[in-house]
Amino acid sequence: MKVAFICTGNSARSQMAEGFAKYYAEKFGKDVKIYSAGSEPSGYVHPLAIEVMAEKGIDISRNRSKSLEDVPLNELDYLITLCGDAAENCPLIPGANTQHWELPDPAKARGSKEERLRKFREVRDKIEEKVKAFIGEI
């Protein structure tokens, strides 16, 4: 089974989803290949995404921002978009079950570092809840 999480920049939401999906696939003993990509890759993984995932014991510090070309789109069983832009700009994949999880972009949060971390944690926790349920069901 192959699953891809797509957002615009592949710097935060889809990176966190990829990290949680790999974690829960292993924990639940699921044979799933997990990908993430961006419709317009940022070229980096957001440092605050790395930080809040580390708080959960998941290391995404070696991940890189990837484009749709880095994902075997025509082999996917599930394509999950995490923002409206990605949902509108992702190609239709014949045979793939497409889902859309609308999540706010924590990278757009403003304020002090603690205020931005609070937003990243909020989005991270929503992603974890959705990914855990999804991996448990497939």
What would the pLDDT profile of 2-50 be if each residue is shown by its tens digit?
999 999 899 999 999 999 999 999 999 999 999 999 989 999 999 999 9
- Residue 62 maps to which CATH number? 3.40.50.2300
Residue 31 in tokens: 């044979």
Tell me how many domains the chain contains: 1
What is the identity of the amino acid at 43?
Answer: G
State residue 36's pLDDT score.
Answer: 97
Nearest alpha carbon to residue 122 among 72, 45, 48: 48
Buried b (16+ CB within 10 A) or exposed e, 27-62: eeeeebebbbbbbebbeebbebbbbbbeeeebebee
What tens digit of pLDDT does each residue of 80-103 get? 999 766 556 666 677 789 999 989
Domain that holds residue 122: 2-137
> Which positions are annotated as active-site residues?
7, 83, 90
- Residue 68 CA to residue 7 CA, distance in Å, equals 10
